């Protein structure tokens, strides 16, 4: 499932992840797989996406302005994306990077989703994910300087009753990354406050976010209120 470039990069990815809770996987899939999946996604966004313009209370009232595809729409319209999520080989590669067990999340609506930012001011505001890891496969990315970058503060806890987003962002450090189309990045998203910075002009940013759980994630009850507010 993982490309040869991906496998060869694992030692470097492990080092990046240890240092920054983030690793960018270049050429995540072979070219033909990337392009056929991109075509599937474009088709799905064209016909079956929903526009969201909301503020999410559990992450401190931060904004979401984008189009989304729900998990079930992707499951029916794509062959590759569900296979990536279900692949034991993919999880084994991720385990080599993070050095612990990586598990598929049991809560179906969060297994994978797709978002597309395209209008000026579209943004995926500051938040934490419900599970430990996000694997974000980038299909379209604006030029750096037009927004759409990943920004994060690593190693800060999410307390939904008192999220303290402004405080964490002000204290920082805020790390910024601008992963390339065709790459995927792995982020320890359950303990990294993160966002996609607002688009400063109309530009295309399209991705699929897979969610993976740690052993401890599955030991306690997860709340799914923020995703329920979106779908
Ligand atoms: O689009 C991205 O790079 C991040 C997406 C994200 O944080 C999420 O879907 O939870
Ligand atoms: Fe996230």
pLDDT in tens, 189-201: 999 999 999 999 9
Write out the two tokens for 55.
């503020």
The residue whose CA has the least distance to atom 5 of ligand 1 is 209
**pLDDT for the residue 128:** 97
Does ligand 1 come within 6 angstroms of the Cβ of 194?
Answer: yes
- The CB of 24 under 6 Å from ligand 1? The reply is no
Q: What is the pLDDT of residues 125-174, one digit of tens each?
A: 999 999 999 999 999 999 999 999 999 999 999 998 899 999 999 999 99
**Omega prior to 183 cis, within 30 of 0:** no
97's enclosing H/E stretch is: helix 88-98
User: What CATH homologous superfamily does 4-230 map to?
Assistant: q2cbj1_9rhob like domain (2.60.120.620)
pLDDT of residue 1: 61
Neighbours of 207 (CB within 10 A): 24
Q: Is the CB of 196 under 6 A from ligand 1?
A: yes
Type and span of the H or E element at 135: strand 133-140
Distance 219 CA to ligand 1 centre (A): 24
Find out whether 20 and 41 touch, Cβ atoms under 8 Å.
Answer: no
pLDDT at 131: 96
CA-to-CA separations, 108 to 3, 6, 13, 139, 143, in angstroms, rounded: 26, 27, 28, 22, 33
Q: Return averaged pLDDT per consecutive 10 residues of the chain, 231 residues in all.
A: 81 98 95 97 97 93 97 96 97 97 96 98 97 98 97 95 95 98 98 98 98 93 71 71
Alpha carbon 173 to its chain's center: 20
Number of other residues whose CB lies within 10 A of the CB of residue 173: 8
What is the SS3 assignment for 102?
coil
**Ligand 2 centre and the CA of 183: distance in Å?**
17
């Amino acid at each position: 499932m993982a490309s040869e470039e991906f496998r060869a990069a694992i030692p470097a990815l492990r080092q990046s992840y240890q240092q920054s809770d983030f690793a960018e996987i270049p050429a995540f899939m072979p070219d033909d797989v990337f392009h056929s999946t991109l075509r599937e996604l474009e088709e799905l966004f064209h016909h079956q996406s929903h526009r969201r313009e909301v503020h999410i209370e559990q992450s401190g009232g931060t904004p979401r302005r984008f189009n989304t595809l729900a998990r079930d729409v992707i499951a029916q319209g794509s062959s590759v994306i569900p296979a990536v999520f279900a692949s034991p080989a993919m999880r084994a590669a991720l385990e080599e990077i993070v050095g612990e067990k990586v598990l598929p999340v049991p809560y179906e609506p969060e297994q994978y989703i797709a978002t597309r930012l395209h209008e000026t001011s579209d943004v995926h505001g500051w938040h934490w994910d419900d599970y430990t890891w996000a694997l974000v496969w980038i299909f379209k990315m604006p030029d750096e300087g037009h927004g759409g970058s990943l920004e994060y503060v690593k190693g800060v806890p999410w307390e939904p009753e008192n999220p303290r987003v402004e405080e964490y962002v002000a204290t920082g450090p805020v790390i910024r990354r601008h992963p390339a189309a065709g790459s995927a990045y792995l982020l320890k998203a359950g303990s990294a406050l993160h966002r996609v910075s607002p688009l400063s002009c109309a530009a295309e940013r399209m991705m699929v976010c897979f969610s993976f759980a740690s052993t401890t994630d599955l030991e306690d009850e997860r709340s799914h209120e923020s995703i329920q507010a979106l779908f």
